Structure 1
Amino acid sequence: MSDEKPSDILFLPIHLRERCIGYFAIKNAVYLMEKQFIFGIMNALISGIEQLHERTKLAVTNKMLSAMYHHDTMTKFWNRSGFTDCAQEYFNKFRAEGRRMAVIYYDLDRLKWINDTFGHDEGDRSIRLTAKAIGKNVSDEAMCFRLGGDEFLVLDRFVSDQELNGRCSSISEVLHDDFSKGAVRSDLTISAGYTVTDPLSDETLEDYVKRADDMMYSCKKAKKMNRK
């Protein structure tokens, strides 16, 4: 400003509680200090900033609480509440787009035996590793749920039966590698069942989930018979 006509600048601090977050600067405005309305304007500005700050904090808090309500803290998958509130919309999206969806039900075998033999910490570690293995074998569109202690559900785009069977084999390989590396004390295995939606069918999401669950249970039952 050295080349300009001498002037003054009025700096008015903007506070958010005890912190100064900036300044309101007005050139050639010293005379405004005699006018009370400038301070009224500043008070209104600061009050507006404080209200915006509180609303932003509330929105962030609500988002965090919603994430906690809809997600399983152990695996970071969606939980049963997340399934109830969010899965139907995902299912409707696939149906509206005329796309087929894979509904896959997984169950970690012998979790009760793991808990009884090695303790619940080992059981929790087994659940986390199983979820991690499942999460590695889904597409970027998938929704993964932990519906119970040892039960997992995946909703994902359908590619082919061969691809889905390959996923299950890959999950089993990952879990066996975890055991080989000493990450868990028991060789983890899963039972799986899946079905594929028909966008032209009137069947509900619950119908498909039950069918996948029934198929998974049949797989689990066959394993028990083989062990006997």
Structure 2
Amino acid sequence: MIKVLLIEDNPGDARLIKEVMSETEHQNFELIWADQLDIGIERIKKEAFHVVLLDLSLPDSHGMETIIAFREKAPEIPIVVLTGLDDEEVAINAVQHGAQDYLMKGQVNSSVILRSIRYAIERHRLQGELYNLSIIDELTSLYNRRGFFNLAQHYMNARTQEGKGFYLIVADLDRMKQINDTYGHHMGDLALMDTANILKEVFHNSAIIARMGGDEFTVVVPDTLRDARLLEGVEQEMISNMQHKLHSFNRDAGRLYHLSISLGLYYFNPEMPLALGDLIIKADQRMYACKKEKMFKNAQNI
């Protein structure tokens, strides 16, 4: 069953689309009609749809802004634009703004609309897969550097508007070169995957976990504290949780190497916002301070 949302303000055109879709053979459709963009957007909040048939001239939206507004609310739903205009420039513009196809209302029949819906769903799925490949680290299945910056910037903007903070953590795998040189790069890859899994377990409530490249990772954790005076203890609590997890891992995993991770944490305050790049630098400085302290302690113990 393919669930279709039709956003069309003209009752006659809506009735025509319904009749055309009822003529399709060997394919089940459920068609839901909304006569305004806002009403359609409210429906997608309550129900799952496979595709939307979208008119560009609505009482509450017009032209390409209609596509943009819908995509902002439902980027996962493919769009097929319906219009009464036979205008190739408008068609190209619609595709450039994210529509999968463009259909003339007067030229729509059952085979045309069926093919368009199927192609739109499949193209949207493939685009989603390609996008995921571009933002996912192949080795660890975490977000990669590109994915982190795309998602973290959106997250930062949203938290700033809401007046809410978050923690940015830079994590670095210690002695990565030593693991590679001693046990081989395949063991180095395994250590990176182990690090990724530990970060996911320790920061299971995080918004974003990413491998930035090499042996460096970043984590974005929402601030759920109501009392700002408690913020000082958060860093030590996170480090303590990490140390406990690493101790359990090194005791039970049976690896040839000893896994060690250095953390640096910095709090994003929406009342005194920093640029994302500056936030990373601050957390990175704290991570290197942590790593330097470890090296000093290890030297003292020799």
1:114 & 1:65 partners in 2: Cα distance?
33
- Which of the residues 211, 217, 226 maps onto 2:288? 217
Name which of structure 1's ranges 213-222 and 46-55 shifts more when overlaid on structure 2.
46-55
The CA distance in 2 between the partners of 1:222 and 1:141, in whole Å, is: 26
Superposition TM-score, scaled by structure 1 size: 0.76
Q: Hey, what does 1:55 align to over in structure 2?
A: 120
1:118 lines up with 2:118 in the alignment:
no
Corresponding residue for 1:90? Answer: 155
Residue 91 of structure 1 aligns with an amino acid whose one-letter code is M
Q: What code does the residue aligned with 1:185 have?
A: L
Partner of 2:213: 148
User: Is the alpha carbon distance of 1:183 and 1:59 closer, same or farther for their aligned partners in structure 2, counting shifts above 3 Å?
Assistant: farther
SS in 2 for 1:147: strand
In structure 2, the gaps of 5 or more residues are 1-22, 29-107, 226-230
- Checking the alignment, whether the CA contact within 8 Å between 2:24 and 2:111 is kept in structure 1 is no
Say which structure, 1 or 2, has more relative contact order (CA 8 Å, 6+ apart): 1
Paired with 2:204 and 2:158, the residues of 1 have a C-alpha distance of: 16
Q: Distance in 1 between matches of 2:206 and 2:169?
A: 14
Percent identity, please. Answer: 29
Choose the corresponding residue for 2:232, options 161, 173, 179.
Answer: 161
In 2: Cα distance, 1:141 partner to 1:177 partner: 21
User: Take 1:167 and 1:89, find their aligned partners in 2: how far apart are those partners?
Assistant: 24
1:182 aligned to 2:253? Answer: yes
Q: Does 1:73 align with 2:149?
A: no
**Aligned mates of 1:65, 1:22 — CA distance in 2:** 28
TM-score (norm 2): 0.59
**1:48 CA drift (Å):** 2.0
Q: Which residue of 1 aligns with 2:167?
A: 102
CA contact (8 A) 2:172 2:262 kept: yes
Q: 1: CA distance between counterparts of 2:232 and 2:133?
A: 34
> Is the Cα–Cα contact under 8 Å of residues 139 and 157 in structure 1 kept in the other structure?
no
Aligned to 2:8: none
Unaligned runs of 5+ in 1: 1-11, 15-20, 24-42
Q: Quick check: 1:136 aligned with 2:201?
A: yes
In 2, distance between residues paired with 1:139 and 1:108?
19
The number of equivalent residue pairs is: 192
- Secondary structure of the residue aligned to 1:154 is strand
Q: Does 1:207 align with 2:272?
A: no
Residue in 2 aligned with 1:29? Answer: none
Structure 1 residue ranges (4+ consecutive) displaced by more than 4 angstroms after TM superposition: none
* CA displacement at 1:62 relative to structure 2: 0.5
CA 1:97/1:183 → structure 2, altered by over 3 Å: closer, same or farther? farther
Distance 1:13 1:67, change over 3 A: closer
> Residue 184 of structure 2 aligns to which amino acid in structure 1?
G
Aligned-pair RMSD on alpha carbons?
2.1
Q: Deviations over 1:31-62 (max 9, x none)?
A: xxxxxxxxxxxx93123212211111110001
Q: CA deviation at 1:77?
A: 1.6
With over 3 angstroms needed to count, the CA separation of the structure-2 counterparts of 1:226 and 1:58, relative to structure 1, is same
String of CA shifts for 1:146-189, please: whole Å, max 9, x gaps: 11211111111234332332222222222332222234211211
The alpha carbon displacement at 1:138 in A equals 2.1
